[in-house]
Chains A and B, each alone.
Chain A
Amino acid sequence: MTDRNDKLEQLMKQSLNGDQRAYAVLLQETSRLLRPLLSRRLNFSNEVDDLLQDILLSIHKARHTYDGNRPYKPWAYAIARFRLQDYLRAHYSDQLRHAIDFDELEESLPENVTETGFSYESISAEVNKLPEQQVNILQLMHQQGYTAREVAEKMGMNESAVKVAAHRAYKILRRKLER
Protein backbone atom coordinates (compact mmCIF):
# COMPACT_ATOMS: atom_id res chain seq x y z
CA MET A 1 0.00 0.00 0.00
CA THR A 2 2.82 2.37 0.97
CA ASP A 3 4.64 1.45 -2.22
CA ARG A 4 1.58 2.35 -4.20
CA ASN A 5 1.28 5.69 -2.41
CA ASP A 6 4.98 6.35 -2.91
CA LYS A 7 4.43 5.58 -6.55
CA LEU A 8 1.73 8.24 -6.80
CA GLU A 9 3.95 10.85 -5.16
CA GLN A 10 6.78 9.88 -7.48
CA LEU A 11 4.50 10.12 -10.50
CA MET A 12 3.34 13.58 -9.42
CA LYS A 13 6.92 14.77 -8.97
CA GLN A 14 7.74 13.53 -12.47
CA SER A 15 4.58 15.18 -13.81
CA LEU A 16 5.54 18.51 -12.29
CA ASN A 17 8.83 18.19 -14.17
CA GLY A 18 6.91 17.83 -17.41
CA ASP A 19 6.86 14.03 -17.80
CA GLN A 20 3.66 13.53 -19.82
CA ARG A 21 3.67 9.75 -19.62
CA ALA A 22 3.94 9.84 -15.81
CA TYR A 23 1.14 12.39 -15.73
CA ALA A 24 -1.15 10.18 -17.83
CA VAL A 25 -0.48 7.21 -15.52
CA LEU A 26 -1.08 9.40 -12.45
CA LEU A 27 -4.42 10.67 -13.76
CA GLN A 28 -5.53 7.14 -14.62
CA GLU A 29 -4.53 5.91 -11.18
CA THR A 30 -6.32 8.87 -9.62
CA SER A 31 -9.53 8.17 -11.51
CA ARG A 32 -9.33 4.52 -10.41
CA LEU A 33 -8.92 5.69 -6.82
CA LEU A 34 -11.77 8.18 -6.92
CA ARG A 35 -14.36 6.21 -8.86
CA PRO A 36 -15.50 4.09 -5.85
CA LEU A 37 -15.87 7.24 -3.70
CA LEU A 38 -18.06 8.89 -6.33
CA SER A 39 -20.03 5.75 -7.07
CA ARG A 40 -21.00 5.53 -3.40
CA ARG A 41 -22.39 9.07 -3.50
CA LEU A 42 -23.96 9.15 -6.95
CA ASN A 43 -26.33 6.69 -8.55
CA PHE A 44 -25.74 6.93 -12.25
CA SER A 45 -22.52 6.07 -13.99
CA ASN A 46 -22.85 9.05 -16.36
CA GLU A 47 -22.94 11.36 -13.31
CA VAL A 48 -19.86 9.65 -11.91
CA ASP A 49 -18.07 10.07 -15.24
CA ASP A 50 -19.04 13.74 -15.53
CA LEU A 51 -17.88 14.52 -12.03
CA LEU A 52 -14.70 12.49 -12.43
CA GLN A 53 -13.83 14.54 -15.50
CA ASP A 54 -14.47 17.72 -13.55
CA ILE A 55 -12.21 16.49 -10.72
CA LEU A 56 -9.41 15.54 -13.11
CA LEU A 57 -9.60 19.01 -14.65
CA SER A 58 -9.43 20.56 -11.16
CA ILE A 59 -6.43 18.40 -10.27
CA HIS A 60 -4.78 19.55 -13.48
CA LYS A 61 -5.53 23.18 -12.68
CA ALA A 62 -4.33 22.94 -9.07
CA ARG A 63 -1.32 20.69 -9.59
CA HIS A 64 1.08 23.53 -8.73
CA THR A 65 -0.25 23.42 -5.14
CA TYR A 66 1.26 19.96 -4.68
CA ASP A 67 5.01 19.82 -4.13
CA GLY A 68 5.55 16.05 -4.01
CA ASN A 69 6.78 16.16 -0.41
CA ARG A 70 3.54 15.19 1.29
CA PRO A 71 1.12 12.30 0.68
CA TYR A 72 -0.67 12.61 -2.65
CA LYS A 73 -3.93 10.90 -1.74
CA PRO A 74 -5.20 13.42 0.85
CA TRP A 75 -4.46 16.21 -1.63
CA ALA A 76 -6.38 14.50 -4.44
CA TYR A 77 -9.25 13.50 -2.12
CA ALA A 78 -9.55 17.08 -0.84
CA ILE A 79 -10.12 18.29 -4.40
CA ALA A 80 -12.48 15.41 -5.14
CA ARG A 81 -14.61 16.09 -2.03
CA PHE A 82 -14.68 19.80 -2.87
CA ARG A 83 -15.97 19.14 -6.39
CA LEU A 84 -18.42 16.51 -5.13
CA GLN A 85 -19.89 18.97 -2.62
CA ASP A 86 -20.13 21.60 -5.36
CA TYR A 87 -21.89 19.09 -7.60
CA LEU A 88 -24.37 18.01 -4.92
CA ARG A 89 -25.03 21.63 -3.91
CA ALA A 90 -25.76 22.56 -7.53
CA HIS A 91 -27.87 19.43 -7.92
CA TYR A 92 -30.06 20.22 -4.89
CA SER A 93 -30.41 23.91 -5.68
CA ASP A 94 -31.45 22.89 -9.20
CA GLN A 95 -34.10 20.65 -7.64
CA LEU A 96 -35.37 23.56 -5.56
CA ARG A 97 -35.51 25.81 -8.62
CA HIS A 98 -37.57 23.27 -10.47
CA ALA A 99 -39.76 22.38 -7.54
CA ILE A 100 -43.42 23.22 -8.10
CA ASP A 101 -44.71 26.09 -6.03
CA PHE A 102 -47.74 25.06 -3.97
CA ASP A 103 -49.61 28.21 -5.02
CA GLU A 104 -49.12 27.35 -8.68
CA LEU A 105 -50.15 23.81 -8.00
CA GLU A 106 -53.33 24.95 -6.27
CA GLU A 107 -54.41 26.91 -9.35
CA SER A 108 -53.99 23.96 -11.64
CA LEU A 109 -55.67 21.41 -9.40
CA PRO A 110 -58.95 20.03 -10.66
CA GLU A 111 -61.89 20.94 -8.49
CA ASN A 112 -62.50 17.42 -7.39
CA VAL A 113 -59.18 16.77 -5.74
CA THR A 114 -60.08 13.27 -4.63
CA GLU A 115 -60.27 12.02 -8.22
CA THR A 116 -56.64 11.83 -9.26
CA GLY A 117 -57.03 9.79 -12.39
CA PHE A 118 -54.72 7.07 -11.15
CA SER A 119 -55.23 4.35 -8.61
CA TYR A 120 -53.10 2.81 -5.88
CA GLU A 121 -52.62 -0.20 -8.13
CA SER A 122 -51.36 1.88 -11.03
CA ILE A 123 -48.85 3.66 -8.78
CA SER A 124 -47.77 0.40 -7.27
CA ALA A 125 -47.25 -1.12 -10.70
CA GLU A 126 -45.14 1.84 -11.80
CA VAL A 127 -43.09 1.68 -8.58
CA ASN A 128 -42.30 -1.96 -9.26
CA LYS A 129 -40.96 -1.09 -12.70
CA LEU A 130 -38.28 1.14 -11.12
CA PRO A 131 -34.71 -0.10 -10.52
CA GLU A 132 -34.56 -2.45 -7.53
CA GLN A 133 -32.63 -0.06 -5.32
CA GLN A 134 -35.18 2.72 -5.84
CA VAL A 135 -38.06 0.31 -5.17
CA ASN A 136 -36.47 -0.74 -1.89
CA ILE A 137 -35.88 2.87 -0.86
CA LEU A 138 -39.47 3.92 -1.63
CA GLN A 139 -40.89 0.89 0.18
CA LEU A 140 -38.79 1.53 3.27
CA MET A 141 -39.58 5.24 3.33
CA HIS A 142 -43.26 5.21 2.39
CA GLN A 143 -44.60 1.83 3.43
CA GLN A 144 -42.51 1.18 6.49
CA GLY A 145 -42.02 4.79 7.54
CA TYR A 146 -38.22 4.87 7.83
CA THR A 147 -36.40 8.19 7.52
CA ALA A 148 -33.76 8.73 4.81
CA ARG A 149 -31.03 8.36 7.44
CA GLU A 150 -32.45 5.06 8.67
CA VAL A 151 -32.79 3.78 5.12
CA ALA A 152 -29.20 4.79 4.45
CA GLU A 153 -28.02 2.80 7.48
CA LYS A 154 -30.16 -0.18 6.54
CA MET A 155 -28.97 -0.29 2.95
CA GLY A 156 -25.36 0.63 3.66
CA MET A 157 -25.64 3.82 1.62
CA ASN A 158 -25.01 7.46 2.21
CA GLU A 159 -27.97 9.56 3.39
CA SER A 160 -27.68 12.03 0.51
CA ALA A 161 -27.44 9.17 -1.98
CA VAL A 162 -30.73 7.81 -0.59
CA LYS A 163 -32.37 11.22 -0.97
CA VAL A 164 -31.07 11.60 -4.51
CA ALA A 165 -32.27 8.10 -5.43
CA ALA A 166 -35.70 8.80 -3.92
CA HIS A 167 -35.94 12.09 -5.76
CA ARG A 168 -35.11 10.41 -9.04
CA ALA A 169 -37.74 7.79 -8.40
CA TYR A 170 -40.36 10.52 -7.74
CA LYS A 171 -39.39 12.22 -10.97
CA ILE A 172 -39.75 9.05 -13.00
CA LEU A 173 -43.08 8.25 -11.36
CA ARG A 174 -44.42 11.75 -11.92
CA ARG A 175 -43.45 11.62 -15.58
CA LYS A 176 -45.09 8.24 -16.04
CA LEU A 177 -48.26 9.05 -14.13
CA GLU A 178 -48.73 12.41 -15.83
CA ARG A 179 -48.78 10.79 -19.25
Chain B
Amino acid sequence: MANIDELVAKLAQEASAVQAAPHPFMLIIQWLGAAAIYLTVSLAVFGLRPDLAERFHHPWFAAEIATLLGLFIATSVSAVLLAFPDLHQKRALALASAWMLVLFLLILFFARRSDTPPAPLPVHDIECTLSITMMALLPAMWIFYSMRKYASTHYRLAGGVALLSAFSVGALWLRLHEQTDSIAHVVEWHYLPMIAIGLIGLWLGKVVLKW
Protein backbone atom coordinates (compact mmCIF):
# COMPACT_ATOMS: atom_id res chain seq x y z
CA MET B 1 0.00 0.00 0.00
CA ALA B 2 2.90 2.32 0.82
CA ASN B 3 4.31 1.59 -2.65
CA ILE B 4 1.03 2.67 -4.25
CA ASP B 5 1.09 5.97 -2.32
CA GLU B 6 4.69 6.55 -3.35
CA LEU B 7 3.86 5.82 -6.99
CA VAL B 8 0.82 8.11 -6.92
CA ALA B 9 2.93 10.91 -5.47
CA LYS B 10 5.65 10.35 -8.09
CA LEU B 11 3.20 10.27 -11.03
CA ALA B 12 1.39 13.35 -9.76
CA GLN B 13 4.70 15.17 -9.48
CA GLU B 14 5.59 14.26 -13.07
CA ALA B 15 2.17 15.20 -14.44
CA SER B 16 2.09 18.26 -16.63
CA ALA B 17 -0.70 19.54 -18.91
CA VAL B 18 -1.51 17.01 -21.63
CA GLN B 19 -3.15 17.60 -24.97
CA ALA B 20 -6.09 15.18 -25.15
CA ALA B 21 -6.34 13.07 -28.31
CA PRO B 22 -8.71 14.44 -30.96
CA HIS B 23 -12.22 13.01 -31.09
CA PRO B 24 -12.20 9.73 -33.08
CA PHE B 25 -14.62 11.16 -35.62
CA MET B 26 -12.04 13.84 -36.44
CA LEU B 27 -9.40 11.13 -36.82
CA ILE B 28 -11.73 9.11 -39.04
CA ILE B 29 -12.37 12.13 -41.28
CA GLN B 30 -8.61 12.76 -41.49
CA TRP B 31 -7.89 9.15 -42.36
CA LEU B 32 -10.70 8.85 -44.92
CA GLY B 33 -9.71 12.17 -46.48
CA ALA B 34 -6.06 11.16 -46.77
CA ALA B 35 -7.03 7.78 -48.24
CA ALA B 36 -9.43 9.42 -50.74
CA ILE B 37 -6.67 11.78 -51.91
CA TYR B 38 -4.23 8.87 -52.19
CA LEU B 39 -6.76 6.83 -54.18
CA THR B 40 -7.62 9.74 -56.49
CA VAL B 41 -3.96 10.52 -57.18
CA SER B 42 -3.17 6.85 -57.82
CA LEU B 43 -6.08 6.50 -60.22
CA ALA B 44 -5.07 9.74 -61.93
CA VAL B 45 -1.54 8.42 -62.37
CA PHE B 46 -2.41 4.85 -63.43
CA GLY B 47 -5.74 5.58 -65.09
CA LEU B 48 -9.28 4.31 -64.68
CA ARG B 49 -10.38 1.18 -66.49
CA PRO B 50 -11.82 2.26 -69.85
CA ASP B 51 -15.12 0.43 -69.40
CA LEU B 52 -15.76 1.69 -65.85
CA ALA B 53 -18.96 3.65 -66.64
CA GLU B 54 -20.39 0.69 -68.51
CA ARG B 55 -19.41 -1.77 -65.75
CA PHE B 56 -21.39 0.24 -63.19
CA HIS B 57 -24.55 -0.80 -65.08
CA HIS B 58 -23.85 -4.37 -63.95
CA PRO B 59 -25.56 -4.62 -60.56
CA TRP B 60 -23.10 -7.11 -59.02
CA PHE B 61 -20.11 -5.01 -60.02
CA ALA B 62 -21.75 -1.90 -58.56
CA ALA B 63 -22.67 -3.82 -55.40
CA GLU B 64 -19.12 -5.18 -55.12
CA ILE B 65 -17.56 -1.71 -55.37
CA ALA B 66 -20.14 -0.23 -52.97
CA THR B 67 -19.52 -2.91 -50.33
CA LEU B 68 -15.74 -2.72 -50.82
CA LEU B 69 -15.99 1.02 -50.23
CA GLY B 70 -18.24 0.29 -47.23
CA LEU B 71 -15.64 -2.18 -45.93
CA PHE B 72 -12.92 0.42 -46.26
CA ILE B 73 -14.98 3.00 -44.35
CA ALA B 74 -16.12 0.53 -41.67
CA THR B 75 -12.60 -0.83 -41.09
CA SER B 76 -11.24 2.71 -40.89
CA VAL B 77 -13.84 3.59 -38.26
CA SER B 78 -13.09 0.38 -36.33
CA ALA B 79 -9.32 0.91 -36.50
CA VAL B 80 -9.61 4.41 -35.08
CA LEU B 81 -11.96 3.35 -32.28
CA LEU B 82 -9.85 0.29 -31.45
CA ALA B 83 -6.88 2.60 -30.92
CA PHE B 84 -8.59 3.91 -27.75
CA PRO B 85 -8.46 1.75 -24.61
CA ASP B 86 -12.25 1.85 -24.11
CA LEU B 87 -13.06 1.94 -27.87
CA HIS B 88 -14.22 5.48 -27.03
CA GLN B 89 -17.25 3.70 -25.51
CA LYS B 90 -18.65 2.99 -28.97
CA ARG B 91 -18.31 -0.77 -28.97
CA ALA B 92 -21.07 -1.46 -31.51
CA LEU B 93 -19.55 0.95 -34.00
CA ALA B 94 -16.07 -0.45 -33.42
CA LEU B 95 -17.28 -3.93 -34.32
CA ALA B 96 -19.39 -2.83 -37.30
CA SER B 97 -16.61 -3.77 -39.73
CA ALA B 98 -17.32 -7.46 -39.01
CA TRP B 99 -20.87 -7.04 -40.38
CA MET B 100 -19.54 -5.15 -43.38
CA LEU B 101 -17.07 -7.94 -44.08
CA VAL B 102 -19.90 -10.49 -43.95
CA LEU B 103 -21.97 -8.38 -46.36
CA PHE B 104 -19.00 -8.03 -48.69
CA LEU B 105 -18.42 -11.79 -48.73
CA LEU B 106 -22.12 -12.38 -49.43
CA ILE B 107 -22.00 -10.00 -52.38
CA LEU B 108 -18.93 -11.82 -53.72
CA PHE B 109 -20.70 -15.15 -53.32
CA PHE B 110 -23.76 -14.00 -55.27
CA ALA B 111 -21.62 -12.21 -57.89
CA ARG B 112 -19.68 -15.46 -58.38
CA ARG B 113 -22.93 -17.43 -58.75
CA SER B 114 -24.37 -15.03 -61.29
CA ASP B 115 -21.19 -15.13 -63.40
CA THR B 116 -22.56 -17.63 -65.97
CA PRO B 117 -21.03 -18.37 -68.34
CA PRO B 118 -17.90 -17.42 -66.41
CA ALA B 119 -15.97 -14.47 -67.78
CA PRO B 120 -12.57 -15.49 -69.21
CA LEU B 121 -9.71 -15.56 -66.74
CA PRO B 122 -6.99 -12.99 -67.35
CA VAL B 123 -3.49 -14.26 -68.20
CA HIS B 124 -1.92 -12.83 -65.05
CA ASP B 125 -2.65 -13.84 -61.45
CA ILE B 126 -0.28 -13.04 -58.56
CA GLU B 127 0.63 -9.71 -60.14
CA CYS B 128 -2.71 -8.44 -58.87
CA THR B 129 -1.92 -9.43 -55.28
CA LEU B 130 1.49 -7.77 -55.54
CA SER B 131 -0.01 -4.58 -57.01
CA ILE B 132 -2.57 -4.37 -54.20
CA THR B 133 0.20 -4.95 -51.65
CA MET B 134 2.40 -2.22 -53.14
CA MET B 135 -0.52 0.18 -53.23
CA ALA B 136 -1.49 -0.65 -49.62
CA LEU B 137 1.98 -0.25 -48.10
CA LEU B 138 1.82 3.50 -47.61
CA PRO B 139 -1.72 3.52 -46.10
CA ALA B 140 -0.73 0.59 -43.86
CA MET B 141 2.34 2.37 -42.54
CA TRP B 142 0.36 5.56 -42.02
CA ILE B 143 -2.49 3.92 -40.15
CA PHE B 144 -0.16 1.91 -37.88
CA TYR B 145 1.90 5.03 -37.20
CA SER B 146 -1.29 6.93 -36.27
CA MET B 147 -2.60 4.14 -34.06
CA ARG B 148 0.66 3.83 -32.14
CA LYS B 149 0.08 7.32 -30.74
CA TYR B 150 -2.87 6.02 -28.75
CA ALA B 151 -3.30 3.03 -26.45
CA SER B 152 -5.10 0.05 -27.88
CA THR B 153 -6.25 -2.61 -25.46
CA HIS B 154 -7.30 -4.83 -28.41
CA TYR B 155 -4.02 -4.65 -30.28
CA ARG B 156 -4.47 -7.88 -32.26
CA LEU B 157 -7.92 -6.97 -33.54
CA ALA B 158 -6.78 -3.40 -34.15
CA GLY B 159 -3.85 -4.65 -36.24
CA GLY B 160 -6.07 -6.94 -38.32
CA VAL B 161 -8.65 -4.26 -38.97
CA ALA B 162 -5.98 -1.66 -39.78
CA LEU B 163 -4.35 -3.90 -42.39
CA LEU B 164 -7.74 -4.78 -43.85
CA SER B 165 -8.50 -1.08 -44.14
CA ALA B 166 -5.18 -0.34 -45.87
CA PHE B 167 -5.53 -3.29 -48.23
CA SER B 168 -9.10 -2.38 -49.10
CA VAL B 169 -7.68 0.90 -50.46
CA GLY B 170 -5.34 -1.13 -52.66
CA ALA B 171 -8.12 -3.50 -53.73
CA LEU B 172 -10.41 -0.59 -54.56
CA TRP B 173 -7.70 1.03 -56.64
CA LEU B 174 -7.01 -2.14 -58.62
CA ARG B 175 -10.68 -2.87 -59.21
CA LEU B 176 -11.20 0.62 -60.65
CA HIS B 177 -7.98 0.46 -62.66
CA GLU B 178 -7.70 -3.06 -64.05
CA GLN B 179 -10.05 -4.23 -66.78
CA THR B 180 -10.95 -7.66 -65.44
CA ASP B 181 -14.44 -9.12 -65.56
CA SER B 182 -13.67 -12.52 -64.07
CA ILE B 183 -15.08 -12.58 -60.55
CA ALA B 184 -13.29 -15.89 -59.93
CA HIS B 185 -9.95 -14.19 -60.58
CA VAL B 186 -10.90 -11.19 -58.48
CA VAL B 187 -11.91 -13.37 -55.53
CA GLU B 188 -8.83 -15.56 -55.77
CA TRP B 189 -6.15 -12.96 -56.39
CA HIS B 190 -7.63 -9.73 -54.99
CA TYR B 191 -9.93 -10.43 -52.10
CA LEU B 192 -8.75 -13.70 -50.55
CA PRO B 193 -5.18 -12.36 -50.22
CA MET B 194 -6.63 -9.14 -48.81
CA ILE B 195 -8.48 -11.08 -46.10
CA ALA B 196 -5.47 -13.33 -45.46
CA ILE B 197 -3.31 -10.24 -44.95
CA GLY B 198 -5.93 -8.98 -42.50
CA LEU B 199 -5.22 -12.15 -40.51
CA ILE B 200 -1.49 -11.39 -40.60
CA GLY B 201 -2.49 -8.05 -39.10
CA LEU B 202 -3.55 -9.89 -35.94
CA TRP B 203 0.09 -10.78 -35.41
CA LEU B 204 1.41 -7.43 -36.62
CA GLY B 205 -0.90 -5.64 -34.20
CA LYS B 206 0.67 -7.50 -31.31
CA VAL B 207 4.14 -6.51 -32.48
CA VAL B 208 3.46 -2.89 -33.39
CA LEU B 209 0.60 -1.77 -31.16
CA LYS B 210 1.47 -3.39 -27.84
CA TRP B 211 2.29 -0.80 -25.18
Provide the B65-98 mask, 1 if CB < 8 A to any CB of A, else 0. 0000000000000000001111111000000000
Closest to A68 in B: B20
Q: Would you call A18 and B16 a contact (CB within 8 A)?
A: yes
Residues from chain B with Cβ under 8 Å of A23 in the complex = 11-12, 15
Q: Would you call B8 and A64 a contact (CB within 8 A)?
A: no
Interface-side segment among A54-62, A94-102, A136-144, A169-177: A54-62
Residues from chain A with Cβ under 8 Å of B18 in the complex = 15-16, 18, 63-64
Given A53-B3, A78-B153, A79-B153, A62 contacting B85 (CB threshold 8 A): yes
**B residues contacting the other copy or chain, number (CB 8 A):** 30
Does A74 sit within 8 A of B, measured CB to CB? Answer: yes
Q: Would you call B11 and A57 a contact (CB within 8 A)?
A: yes
Q: B4, B15, B23, B85: which contacts A20 (Cβ < 8 A)?
A: B15
Q: Would you call A15 and B4 a contact (CB within 8 A)?
A: no
Residues from chain A with Cβ under 8 Å of B53 in the complex = none
Q: Would you call A74 and B86 a contact (CB within 8 A)?
A: yes
Contacts of B79-123 to chain A: CB distance below 8 A: 83-89
Contacts of A41-77 to chain B: CB distance below 8 A: 49, 52-53, 56-58, 60-68, 70-71, 74-75, 77
Q: Would you call A56 and B153 a contact (CB within 8 A)?
A: no
Q: B3, B15, B19: which contacts A49 (Cβ < 8 A)?
A: B3
Residues from chain A with Cβ under 8 Å of B15 in the complex = 15, 18, 20, 23, 60
Does B1 sit within 8 A of A, measured CB to CB? Answer: yes
Residues from chain A with Cβ under 8 Å of B150 in the complex = 62, 64-65
Given A31-B4, A78-B153, A64 contacting B16 (CB threshold 8 A): no
Interface size class of A (residues with CB under 8 A): 35 or more
Interface of A is mostly: helix
Does A40 sit within 8 A of B, measured CB to CB? Answer: no
Chain A proximity of B207: nearest CB distance (Å)? 15
Interface of B is mostly: loop
Residues from chain B with Cβ under 8 Å of A60 in the complex = 11, 14-15
Q: Would you call A62 and B16 a contact (CB within 8 A)?
A: no
Does A92 sit within 8 A of B, measured CB to CB? Answer: no
Does A28 sit within 8 A of B, measured CB to CB? Answer: yes
Of all A-B residue pairs in the complex, the 10 with the closest CB atoms, nearest first, are: A18-B17, A62-B151, A24-B12, A82-B153, A78-B86, A67-B20, A27-B8, A75-B86, A78-B85, A23-B15
Interface residues of B (CB under 8 A from A): 1, 3-5, 7-9, 11-21, 23, 83-89, 150-151, 153, 211
**Other 16 A-B pairs with CB < 8 A, given A61-B151, A67-B23:** A18-B18, A23-B12, A31-B4, A49-B1, A49-B3, A53-B3, A56-B4, A56-B7, A57-B11, A64-B20, A65-B21, A67-B21, A70-B89, A75-B85, A77-B86, A78-B153
Pull 28 A–B residue pairs with CB atoms less than 8 Å apart, ordered by A. Answer: A16-B20, A18-B15, A18-B16, A18-B17, A23-B15, A24-B12, A27-B8, A27-B11, A27-B12, A28-B5, A31-B8, A49-B3, A49-B4, A57-B7, A58-B151, A60-B14, A61-B151, A65-B20, A65-B83, A65-B84, A65-B85, A65-B150, A68-B20, A70-B86, A70-B88, A79-B85, A79-B153, A82-B153
